[in-house]
Structure 1
Amino acid sequence: MSDLNTPLSILGGITAQTFLEEYWQKKPLLIRAGLVDFTVPLDADELAGMAMEEEVESRIVVENGLTPWEMRQGPFTEDTFATLPEKEWTLLVQAVDHWVPEVQSLKEQFQFLPSWRLDDVMISYATEGGSVGPHYDQYDVFLVQVAGKRRWQVLSPDQYQDSAIPNIQLHILDNFPVDPNMDWELEAGDILYLPPNFAHNGRALDSECMTYSIGFRAPSIQEALTGVRDKLCEVDNPKDRFAPPETAARQHSAHISKDDIANLQSQLARLINQPDMLAQWLGETMSESKYPEYLVPFNQQELDTAFEHALQGKTFIRPGDARICYYLLEDLESNNSVQIFCNGESLVVNADLAIFIQAICDQTEFDFSGLDLTQDPDLEPLLHFLLRQQGVIELVANEED
């Protein structure tokens, strides 16, 4: 848990409260030397090695390739990199935090923001002049320069027209007037925060340029409406119909009146006005794994073994791809319970376990040997849930160590 009134080096010495009030989703913030004492865990060759793996999502953007702003999808081969031009290309690798614990730990510096909105950490490596073109994102992002130098030019939403270069794979703006007040060179350790829809154009100033992008997911309202609709439709009530009362004779039978619309609005509002249902949709959606196809379900024997090992005190960790959050249910029916969400599924347990759940969400390494399962009847099912959903997994020692 973060103290909102403590100055943070990751924010350049301002407090989280100041950042939230003055910058978050409002205006950019350039932070000089915000990331200190960070040892870069991957060099360019190791990042390229990751991009050759089948399960790792990666792209290469070549500004003057076979086509303008050519984009190639991984996985790549050694020949791919051997035939790239000397300059003006960028390698982007998604979700590096899923595979590299040192990159995952970087996200812990941003605990003053909702962890359930945190997306993956994307790493981009660029040769001199490398760029992915002027574009905008529909979410908040911190651009962390960890090696080399990059020039960033930024425009607010009212400074550019949302028109893209035609006939290319990427959505690159065809207009980008430079604002001298938002034109910065970033060196290793510098950070640039950008709110949603602020256009930005980054270009590497050397061939050692490496940037970590830490984004925050923002589902569209249309996605929310669709998801909530689906959640409401899970409960079929054939008697729940739109049949507005007729309080007076109509002058014309074909007329849909304002009262009819008001009645429809009232019925829909009643359906939507269910905070616990909305929380369930939001929690399950925001905790969905980025790559659910890589979550291989455990069989019962594997689950039983993991449960035994947990109680024996074996070390367990939260893997980099696990997403966990929770919601306190406070209506009379739920009797003050807490709902935990993990990788798209949920479980309701006693509210007395809220502190335990908070610890699970805040930490990355666990020792369950002191757990007294008789303390609460929901404790055992909770641990089974976390193991089954792979919110916590056993740390297996490397045989070579």
Structure 2
Amino acid sequence: MYQLTVSLEQFLAEFWQKKPTIIKGGFAHFQDPVSPEELAGLTMEEEVDSRYVSNKNGEWTAEHGPFNEDQYAELDESNWSIIVQAANHWHQGAAQLVEPFKAMPQWLFDDLMISYSVKDGGVGPHIDQYDVFIIQGSGKRHWRVGAKDEGQYVETCRHSALRQIESFDAIIDDILEPGDILYIPPGFPHDGYALEPSMSYSVGFRSPKEQELISNFADYVLANDIGDKHLHKPELSTQNNFGQISSSDLQSLTQMLKASLDDEQCISDFMGCMLSQSRHQLNIITPEPLWQSEEIANHIQTGGIIDKVSGLRALFHEQDPSIAYINGEVIKVPSECTDVIELLCGQEQISADNWPSETSSAMVSLLCDLVNKGYWYID
């Protein structure tokens, strides 16, 4: 089990979205949860989001996976990297690296990205708009971080698949060794390259943009057939200029637009649905044959474990634990099931140790439904 050597609460108060920093020895005696060979194996899978980036002789190239053994056999010994997004969805050992950050809101967590780079491999100078903890695994990597972007950096196109910038002055210039953690808030340019074959693990946190909230809310309104009505205003009067939008009409239309935003339950359900959807594919497999409620209850009672699919988002609102939002679905339960909702949303495993001693048939039925959807699974 991985454990941070610093207080996460103190770190958030001092650094979160304020300034970049390096935590030397952030993980003591760090051991890679995945080998370069295992990572290369993941890049050969169709379902896995992977990339290959090369900067041989200053010429940048980038390709998306899946790849094959023949392609790896042709690679040089320097100037390339392979990258796997959402590696925590596909490798249980890698998923353990996320555990020390579970005290942070799950809806903010994006994914665990893993990269393997040979000497001088990297992705070039760039700026991300999310928070990231970059954990150095085996090997060493040289990192430079610049001051926050206030419009002073110029984007360059060295390859269509890479969003890079021109050079920047460094405020952090250091070498990361196994167990060191580099934290970078949104908007700070950075560039890292391997000094020797090395593994790197990026734990990313991403909040939605205002544009995404508005766009996704519009989609939610349409999908749920909300507000399917026209403005009704029987007190219409004549006006001197037919091209004029009266202040009264503008106010009526504005109130109509705001009405859905004033519906607290509508907004709660929308936020829950949107925030509980992962940006990356999940390893969801529906069981065959389907489980029966009696089998699920017996499995728990006899010491069995039920695991949540890695990366699955299960959320509930603080003010209403009777509604869960799981992978974009709204799941409403009776009041006696709220303990189970908090368990489903706050734990990665269900067993006799945390399953309520007094359960109803509704609780077991809910869990059985989730297992049959493939959201939780019995190994």
Asked whether the two chains share a fold, i.e. TM above 0.5, the reply is: yes
CA distance in 2, matches of 1:322, 1:168: 31
1:77 aligns with 2:94: no
Deviation of the 1:103 alpha carbon: 1.6
- SS in structure 1 of the partner of residue 199 of structure 2: strand
- SS in structure 1 of the partner of residue 27 of structure 2: coil
**1:275/1:22 Cα in 2 relative to 1: closer, same or farther (>3 Å)?**
farther
1:35 aligns with 2:19: no
**Please, which of 368, 372, 377 is the counterpart of residue 388 of structure 1?**
372
**Please, which of 44, 53, 57 is the counterpart of residue 61 of structure 1?**
53
Q: Which residue of 1 aligns with 2:290?
A: 302
1:327 aligns with 2:320: no
CA distance in 2, matches of 1:111, 1:372: 22
Q: Which residue of 1 aligns with 2:338?
A: 354
Deviation of the 1:389 alpha carbon: 3.3
Structure 1 unpaired stretches of 5+ = 1-7, 331-336, 396-401
Q: How does 1:83-232 map to 2 (within 5 A)?
A: 83-155=74-146, 156-158=148-150, 160-165=152-157, 168-173=160-165, 175-179=166-170, 181-207=171-197, 209-232=198-221
CA distance in 1, matches of 2:206, 2:365: 30
Preserved contact between residue 59 and residue 72 of structure 1 (Cα < 8 Å): yes
User: What RMSD in Å do the two structures reach over aligned CA positions?
Assistant: 2.9
Deviation of the 1:249 alpha carbon: 6.1
- SS in structure 2 of the partner of residue 60 of structure 1: strand
- SS in structure 2 of the partner of residue 157 of structure 1: coil
After TM superposition, the score normalised by the length of structure 2 is: 0.87
Preserved contact between residue 34 and residue 93 of structure 2 (Cα < 8 Å): no
Identity %: 31
Deviation string, structure 1 residues 68-103 (Cα, Å, up to 9, x no partner): 310122222222122112111111112221232222
**1:41/1:293 Cα in 2 relative to 1: closer, same or farther (>3 Å)?**
closer
CA distance in 2, matches of 1:370, 1:252: 70
- SS in structure 1 of the partner of residue 338 of structure 2: helix
Greater alpha carbon shift after TM alignment, 240-249 vs 267-276: 240-249
Deviation string, structure 1 residues 41-93 (Cα, Å, up to 9, x no partner): 2222222222223332211101127x931012222222212211211111111
Q: Which one-letter code corresponds to 1:143 in the other structure?
A: I
CA distance in 1, matches of 2:352, 2:319: 26
After TM superposition, the score normalised by the length of structure 1 is: 0.83
- SS in structure 2 of the partner of residue 339 of structure 1: strand
- SS in structure 2 of the partner of residue 115 of structure 1: coil
**1:92/1:371 Cα in 2 relative to 1: closer, same or farther (>3 Å)?**
closer
Deviation of the 1:343 alpha carbon: 2.2
Q: Which residue of 2 aligns with 1:271?
A: 260
- SS in structure 2 of the partner of residue 171 of structure 1: strand
CA distance in 1, matches of 2:97, 2:158: 37
Structure 2 unpaired stretches of 5+ = none
Deviation of the 1:326 alpha carbon: 1.5
- SS in structure 2 of the partner of residue 164 of structure 1: strand
Greater alpha carbon shift after TM alignment, 346-355 vs 105-114: 346-355
**Please, which of 367, 379, 395 is the counterpart of residue 351 of structure 2?**
367
Preserved contact between residue 339 and residue 348 of structure 1 (Cα < 8 Å): yes
Preserved contact between residue 68 and residue 168 of structure 1 (Cα < 8 Å): no
